[in-house]
Chain A
């Protein structure tokens, strides 16, 4: 079945540091890939997505590229801010439309120090 593996956390960085959060996946066919973020006390929010190989999703300075050859979707940001402190989930969906089921990784907590 489908699965998503995220690097172990938590991750603590200083402000303006470079961020990489690894994500690899196993799926049949050609899944869509997502990064969701959960800020303290809030629900999950879609951060970015990519629907086919070599697509790059980007939002709020974060980027991730759909790498089919390595089955990866690593999240990067060049300079993190304290406000980026949150839990980040990598996810995939093997189907389309309103019945698409998401398979999540375990999530990783990012803490950014001033």
Chain B
């Protein structure tokens, strides 16, 4: 099946710094990718829809200036958490649709810890 990777898998940073998370579709081109956030023992919450070559669409309540999304190519989307704070600590997961658009494939997730 289609493979989606994320890098890094874990990151620890100091409060006030910015962190970039990459999401790549390894064997297919993805015009649309999604970014989710998952808290412990909680469901995945959709943060934004990332469209190649255009601005991301953010869900209600998600700060677009804090969570910067760039989808510069058909195989790469990045999420940058700017001026991170401890409350941003979470598990961030991306996903992508194959060109057929019938199945969403997920990355393994990135664990962000902000000290």
Give chain A's interface residues, CB within 8 Å of chain B.
4, 36, 41-46, 89, 96-107
Contacts and interface: CB of A to CB of B under 8 A. Distances in A.
B97 interface: yes
B43 A89 contact: yes
Interface residues of B, number: 24
A105 B31 contact: no
Contacts of A41: 108
Contacts of A36: 106
Interface in B85-105: 93, 95, 97, 99, 101, 103-105
B49 A101 contact: yes
B34 A43 contact: no
A101 B107 contact: no
A104 to B, nearest CB: 4
Given A89-B44, A101-B49, 19 more contacts: A4-B43, A36-B106, A43-B6, A43-B109, A44-B95, A45-B106, A46-B105, A89-B43, A97-B97, A98-B31, A98-B97, A100-B104, A101-B46, A102-B44, A102-B95, A102-B104, A103-B46, A104-B44, A107-B43
18 contacts: A4-B43, A36-B106, A43-B6, A43-B93, A43-B107, A44-B44, A44-B93, A89-B43, A96-B101, A97-B101, A98-B31, A98-B99, A100-B97, A102-B46, A102-B95, A103-B46, A104-B43, A104-B44
B79 to A, nearest CB: 15
A97 to B, nearest CB: 4
Contacts of B109: 43
A44 B3 CA distance: 11
B31 A106 contact: no
Which 10 interchain pairs have the tightest Cβ spacing? Answer: A98-B101, A44-B106, A43-B106, A43-B108, A104-B43, A98-B97, A97-B101, A106-B43, A104-B44, A98-B32
